[in-house]
Amino acid sequence: MILEHRGARPVVHPTAYVAPTAVVSGDVEVGPHCRILFGAVVTADSGPIRLGEHVIVMENAVLRGTARDPLTIGHHSLVGPHASVTGAEVGERTFLATGSSVFNGARIGAGSEVRVNGCVHLRTVLSPGSTVPIGWVTVGDPARIMPPVHHDAIWAIQRDLDFPGYVFGVDRGDPDAMVTITERYARALAERPTTRDERSES
């Protein structure tokens, strides 16, 4: 399904394929020979998304662009099933495996691999040709790649990257932080994308 959002309609190259149950919404450019498979969501909520040539987005992956951090994925990259990528720069020939997560402001160098359930955290910079092992967490600039059992070491870096402040503009120490975040996010998501048919009916 191709949806217009905030006055922008996706541009899908004629050689690309978008599955009938996939959603592509807003300021999205889908390059030549891309494939967006069943159940995938590619949504420019508040910022653009640019997919290069031969980018494969597998089933039920979620790609999201933000105002602060547009999402770009370089040529010949693959985003696996159930992966989540928000507001990141992903270099060419990159493999983001099943269940991997890439957060706002991350930059992944060309030829990298984020293996099954791997995580590239907020504002993390991963050098070209890097590998994040299965289930491991990458955090910081320069990136440190650590197993999840090293939670304290991960948190020591992650805390200063300030997810709630960077993404939502909210102080982590505010006891009402989640109230502010959810109310602000609900307002931002209130504008509903529309299909061509819905626009013609109004």
Residue 181 lies in a domain: no
**CA trace torsion 96, 99, 105, 108 (10° rounding):** -20
Residue 174 lies in a domain: no
Domain tally, the chain: 1
Residue 101 lies in a domain: yes
* Banded pLDDT at 190 (limits 50, 70, 90): confident
Nearest alpha carbon to residue 85 among 52, 53, 108, 54: 108
Residue 173 lies in a domain: no
Q: How confident is the prediction for the chain on average, in pLDDT?
A: 93
Residue 85 lies in a domain: yes
Nearest alpha carbon to residue 149 among 139, 158, 136: 136
Residue 50 lies in a domain: yes
Residue 169 lies in a domain: no
The CATH number linked to 124 is 2.160.10.10
Task: Identify the pLDDT of residue 139.
Answer: 97
In the Cβ-directed half-sphere of 52, how many Cα atoms lie within 13 Å? Answer: 15
Structural domain that includes position 58: 2-161
Give residue-wise pLDDT tens across range 61-71. Answer: 999 999 999 99
Whether 59 contacts 77, CB under 8 Å: no
Give residue-wise pLDDT tens across range 78-89. Answer: 999 999 999 999
Residue 113 lies in a domain: yes
Dihedral (CA of 69, 71, 75, 78) sign:
positive
